Chains A and B, each alone.
Chain A
């Protein structure tokens, strides 16, 4: 608990996390408003389209999570941290838990605000949270954000510098997972097992295809929605494990 309090003080006494959270909210809700107002009979506004900006907010929150550790390396405070708490595994785990929980909360807020705003613009049965799929699509966002933050932190711990970590996270989540499908024959098979594609399957599997690029993934996914989420969590935990081993072995 002490270490969580320490990390809470560290996270909220600098400005960048606040900026990242506000930016994530504005971008996501903004996109939701755009998609919803542009909806018509052919592309009706649904619960799924209200979450169209989720990917954008996710990227910003991952940047926030990576920054939480790379700025410590950038400014040398990681040395002060390890000096105060020589148990690096405990310290970095506490940081991961705190940032993960904050990211999850932000994800929940973003998802429900996006949905509520969309509902206000185009109220109707398509916007009501009725099925389990509807709820998963909105409330599941927090889970995805939380574990995506864990992945971002793990990458930050491994790479140790902001530019590198952010570049890897952006290029990977926005480009690599989409472009990998271009590899002949095996491309789409690999893509099915990519972690962020899995997370997307968790959120949107079973949703009616609609406007704004949201909706169920085009390929048939090998795992159920919750199986996909478990897979995503597994990837996050394995990456964090590797990062913790590395942090303990390397000089600070």
Chain B
């Protein structure tokens, strides 16, 4: 288990991590989600005792990292796959790590096999592809058979096969009862990998929840309905105090309701339906909304997108005058 309490880190005038508190539980994959520059890597370095927090503390199974005896046996981490001397062989790299924590050389060969690097163990790590480096980093993390694992952006730059491998690997590790804490700025990836989410922006905690809850709460759930009697249906829906927005192909989009409700209203008014479907808002939209003010470096495109998102609901091309345009954002 990882517990952070009031973690704060300042670099000069920049507040990289601001009073951050969260918990990553054993037996779960906890995603650490936030845009680039949100303070994820800094937080990870503080967990490992590499950077000193200006305030607050972080405990691993109740202990400060620096007070752990043979820390690789408790915490395995992959923060940067390039933290390897390029002229040292993969095996030599693992060998000195193992030696420092009283881990046998046999275990080195074991983890090399586990990540599929046995054949290239004697080759210099500088010649490795990103995927191979990433595997070497994971082998280093697994070396001490630790109960807590940290991965910083592990799927960055990997091919689909590698991504799938890491995702399943993390699930296996969590199923074995370990604490798996993995950071990413990719929501879609996190929604598949993580069971719990710690969401940060500009160094502050935005949300801690299970992934399912986070999507349900933050996502823009809506019902899309298409009917030849669209006008009748719209009036009927507005009568019920619902928010109706124009969608593509003359469809209507009703946010914040279930398909049951819309179907019932249509039936009660004798309206024929050609389509009735629920739309799960994308996690990206939810994320943009939640972290909208917390992104440090934003492109003009993203600013424009965000502005459009805030003034008009998605899919709203030409707003009809009789349609309520109140945005559903800001939950």
Residues of A bordering B, CB below 8 Å: 2-3, 5-6, 9-10, 13-16, 71-72, 75-77, 79-87, 249, 251-252
Task: Decide if B102 is an interface residue (CB 8 Å cutoff).
Answer: yes
B193 to nearest A CB, angstroms?
23
Task: Decide if B218 is an interface residue (CB 8 Å cutoff).
Answer: no
A2 to nearest B CB, angstroms?
7
Q: Which residues in B have their C-beta under 8 angstroms from that of A86?
A: 49, 65-68, 71
User: Is A2's CB under 8 angstroms from B99's CB?
Assistant: yes
User: Is B66's CB under 8 angstroms from A84's CB?
Assistant: no
User: Is B50's CB under 8 angstroms from A14's CB?
Assistant: no
User: Is A13's CB under 8 angstroms from B52's CB?
Assistant: no
B:50-90 near A, CB below 8 Å: 50-52, 65-68, 71-72, 77, 79-80, 82-89
B76 to nearest A CB, angstroms?
9
Known: A10-B85, A13-B95, A86-B66. 9 other contacts (CB 8 A): A2-B100, A76-B80, A76-B83, A79-B45, A79-B50, A79-B83, A86-B49, A251-B50, A252-B51
Task: Decide if B326 is an interface residue (CB 8 Å cutoff).
Answer: no
User: Is A3's CB under 8 angstroms from B100's CB?
Assistant: yes
Q: Which residues in B have their C-beta under 8 angstroms from that of A72?
A: 85
From A13, A81, A83, contact of B77 by CB (8 A): A83
Residues of B bordering A, CB below 8 Å: 45, 48-52, 65-68, 71-72, 77, 79-80, 82-89, 92, 95-97, 99-102, 140
Q: Which residues in B have their C-beta under 8 angstroms from that of A84?
A: 71-72, 97, 100-101
21 A-B interface contacts by CB (under 8 A): A2-B99, A2-B102, A9-B92, A9-B95, A9-B99, A13-B85, A71-B85, A75-B83, A75-B85, A76-B82, A77-B83, A79-B50, A79-B80, A82-B49, A83-B49, A84-B97, A85-B100, A86-B49, A249-B52, A252-B45, A252-B50
B223 to nearest A CB, angstroms?
50
Could you tell me the distance between the alpha carbons of A108 and B50 in the complex, rounded to whole angstroms? 38
User: Is A6's CB under 8 angstroms from B48's CB?
Assistant: no
Could you tell me the distance between the alpha carbons of A11 and B233 in the complex, rounded to whole angstroms? 77
Using known A-B contacts A6-B100, A83-B71, A84-B72, determine if residue A75 contacts B84 with beta carbons closer than 8 Å: yes
Most buried by A among B48, B67, B100, B102: B100
Using known A-B contacts A75-B85, A80-B83, A83-B71, determine if residue A13 contacts B50 with beta carbons closer than 8 Å: no
User: Is B99's CB under 8 angstroms from A6's CB?
Assistant: yes
A93 to nearest B CB, angstroms?
14
B232 to nearest A CB, angstroms?
66
Q: Which residues in A have their C-beta under 8 angstroms from that of B71?
A: 83-84, 86
Could you tell me the distance between the alpha carbons of A82 and B83 in the complex, rounded to whole angstroms? 12
Q: Which residues in B have their C-beta under 8 angstroms from that of A71?
A: 85
Could you tell me the distance between the alpha carbons of A16 and B88 in the complex, rounded to whole angstroms? 11
Could you tell me the distance between the alpha carbons of A218 and B162 in the complex, rounded to whole angstroms? 68
Could you tell me the distance between the alpha carbons of A39 and B48 in the complex, rounded to whole angstroms? 61
Q: Which residues in B have their C-beta under 8 angstroms from that of A79?
A: 45, 48, 50, 79-80, 83
By Cβ-Cβ distance, the 7 closest A-B pairs, closest first, are: A76-B83, A13-B92, A251-B51, A252-B50, A9-B96, A86-B66, A84-B100
B141 to nearest A CB, angstroms?
10
Could you tell me the distance between the alpha carbons of A71 and B87 in the complex, rounded to whole angstroms? 11
With both beta carbons as reference points, the residue of chain A lying nearest to B68 in the complex is identified as A86
Could you tell me the distance between the alpha carbons of A194 and B118 in the complex, rounded to whole angstroms? 53
Could you tell me the distance between the alpha carbons of A79 and B71 in the complex, rounded to whole angstroms? 13
From B45, B50, B52, B84, contact of A77 by CB (8 A): B84
User: Is B87's CB under 8 angstroms from A14's CB?
Assistant: yes
A179 to nearest B CB, angstroms?
36
B321 to nearest A CB, angstroms?
58
Most buried by B among A5, A9, A83, A252: A83
Could you tell me the distance between the alpha carbons of A79 and B97 in the complex, rounded to whole angstroms? 12
B49 to nearest A CB, angstroms?
5
Q: Which residues in B have their C-beta under 8 angstroms from that of A75?
A: 82-86
Could you tell me the distance between the alpha carbons of A85 and B70 in the complex, rounded to whole angstroms? 7
With both beta carbons as reference points, the residue of chain B lying nearest to A3 in the complex is identified as B100
User: Is A13's CB under 8 angstroms from B96's CB?
Assistant: yes
Could you tell me the distance between the alpha carbons of A76 and B152 in the complex, rounded to whole angstroms? 15
With both beta carbons as reference points, the residue of chain B lying nearest to A87 in the complex is identified as B66
With both beta carbons as reference points, the residue of chain A lying nearest to B64 in the complex is identified as A86
